[in-house]
Amino acid sequence: MTDLLPSSTPRHDWTRDEVAALYAQPFADLLWQAQSVHRACHKPNTVQLSTLMNIKTGGCPEDCKYCSQSVRYDTGLERESLATVEEVRHAARVARDAGATRFCMGAAWRGPKPRDMAVVKEMIGAVRELGMESCVTLGLLDEAQARELAAAGLDYYNHNIDTSPEYYDKVITTRTFQSRLDTLEHVREAGIKVCCGGILGLGESREDRGEMLRTLANLPQHPESVPINQLVAVPGTPMGEQTGVDELEFVRTVAVARVLMPRAVVRLSAGRGAMSDSLQALCFVAGANSMFYGDKLLTTGNPAVAADHALLDALGMRAEAPKRQARNALEAVAGDALAG
């Protein structure tokens, strides 16, 4: 495998052994492959910036063992009601003016109720009016809900498989792995772009990490966006004492994701706050080309905006320019000034 450059044509038939062999290579060989695939499919030195907002905090009935927002664990988090459309509009404008091109809204639900859907659809409209791409993560969706969100103009739906099918039950028992694949299928069929990845550092093995990525790569169509989260160990959750994943193993996983899904945008997601600049730089070399940007993730911290600008400058990287134009003329002028 070491002297063979992987193809940048997407494949959907990766075997367990092929993925294991990718991981097992010398580090430099794997990074060379990932970087070669990356440069064949993406602009080098460009990173897409997404900002997160928690639109509904806490009180979630699910039992995801990593999550600060499950009602089952005492993490000291105050439950809040659904944010207003005005709060979303304001936060999205601030994010856009700081340079983010996508605004991602998360809700601590098993899935959205009809009355929630009406508000979320307005929020999607507000984000799009600002010329930003919209993304929501609301939990499980049925076919009709996916179609409703598509009709509201939603660009991306985030729903992670989190880990391998084999390790899944060690992490979540209140919803099945298959239910996640079903939601992804509804999203895909509705014509919404898919954002799906997972978490490293849950106590899983390398094989689990490979099987998580293989599950994504062997979907009928690769997710457009693949967030790779490093566990943020939250005190009070069952995963609160986890010690984290080896740094080079994290980089290898980003590189394997890049090789398996050449055209996907691979996002450095939760956990950057605990990463050195050098580790993040290695992740970019391994093919990461997106990150969460803004001082907060959902309930935990993220590097400060100024620190991220300093990192990108030091690496000679630039933020991706907005793809969509704001709807009215005034917004368009503001958008152009930002892009220029």
Residues engaged in binding ligand DTB (CB under 6 A)? 52, 68, 106, 137, 158, 160, 197, 227, 229, 232, 269-270, 297-300
User: Is 41 noted as a catalytic residue in this protein?
Assistant: no
The secondary structure of residue 271, as a DSSP letter, is T
Catalytic residue among 60, 93, 96, 175: 60
DSSP bridge partners of 94? none
Quick one: which of 262, 279, 328, 322 has its CA closest to 95? 322
How many Å apart are CA 275 and CA 181, to the nearest integer? 30
Strands 198-200 and 265-268: unpaired
Q: Which is nearer to ligand SF4, 232 or 311 (CB)?
A: 232
Q: Which is nearer to ligand SAM, 10 or 273 (CB)?
A: 273
CB of 324 closer than 8 Å to CB of 96: no
User: Is 60 noted as a catalytic residue in this protein?
Assistant: yes
Task: Using CB under 6 A, pick the residue from 19, 30, 37, 67 that binds ligand SF4.
Answer: 67
CB of 194 closer than 8 Å to CB of 235: no
User: Is 128 noted as a catalytic residue in this protein?
Assistant: no
Task: Using CB under 6 A, pick the residue from 19, 41, 47, 60 that binds ligand SF4.
Answer: 60
206: tokens are 């390398």
The secondary structure of residue 64, as a DSSP letter, is -
Quick one: which of 100, 37, 49, 103 has its CA closest to 264? 37
Contact window for ligand SAM (CB under 6 A) among 12-20, 85-93, 96-104, 224-232: 224-232
The CA-to-CA distance between both ends of the chain, in Å, stands at 43
Q: Is 69 among the residues that bind ligand SF4 (CB under 6 A)? A: yes
How many Å apart are CA 89 and CA 202, to the nearest integer? 35
Catalytic residue among 41, 102, 128, 195: 195
Least distance CB 1 / ligand SAM (angstroms): 30
Give the x-and-dash track for 91-130 against ligand SF4 (CB under 6 A): -----------------x----------------------
Catalytic residue among 41, 93, 96, 135: 135
Question: Phi and psi of 248, rounded to 5°?
Answer: -70, -30
Residue 250, SS3 per DSSP: helix
| H-assigned helices in the chain | 16-24, 27-41, 85-97, 114-129, 143-151, 177-189, 206-217, 247-260, 277-285, 305-315, 329-339
* DSSP letters spanning 219-231: SSS--SEEEEEEP
Catalytic residue among 252, 258, 267, 272: 267
CB of 225 closer than 8 Å to CB of 195: yes
Q: Is 231 among the residues that bind ligand SAM (CB under 6 A)? A: yes
Considering only residues 155 to 214 of the shown chain, the ones binding ligand SAM according to CB under 6 A are 159-160, 162, 199
Question: Phi and psi of 71, rounded to 5°?
Answer: -70, -15
Q: Is 270 among the residues that bind ligand SF4 (CB under 6 A)? A: no
70 contacts which partner out of ligand DTB, ligand SF4, ligand SAM, none, CB within 5 to 8 A by kind?
ligand SF4
101 contacts which partner out of ligand SF4, ligand SAM, ligand DTB, none, CB within 5 to 8 A by kind?
none
311 contacts which partner out of ligand DTB, ligand SF4, ligand SAM, none, CB within 5 to 8 A by kind?
none
Least distance CB 161 / ligand SAM (angstroms): 8
Least distance CB 260 / ligand SAM (angstroms): 18
Q: Active-site residue numbers?
A: 60, 64, 67, 104, 135, 195, 267
Chain residues binding ligand SAM by CB under 6 A are 60, 66-67, 106, 108-109, 137, 139, 159-160, 162, 199, 229, 231-232, 234, 270, 298
Chain residues binding ligand SF4 by CB under 6 A are 60, 62, 64, 67, 69-70, 108, 139
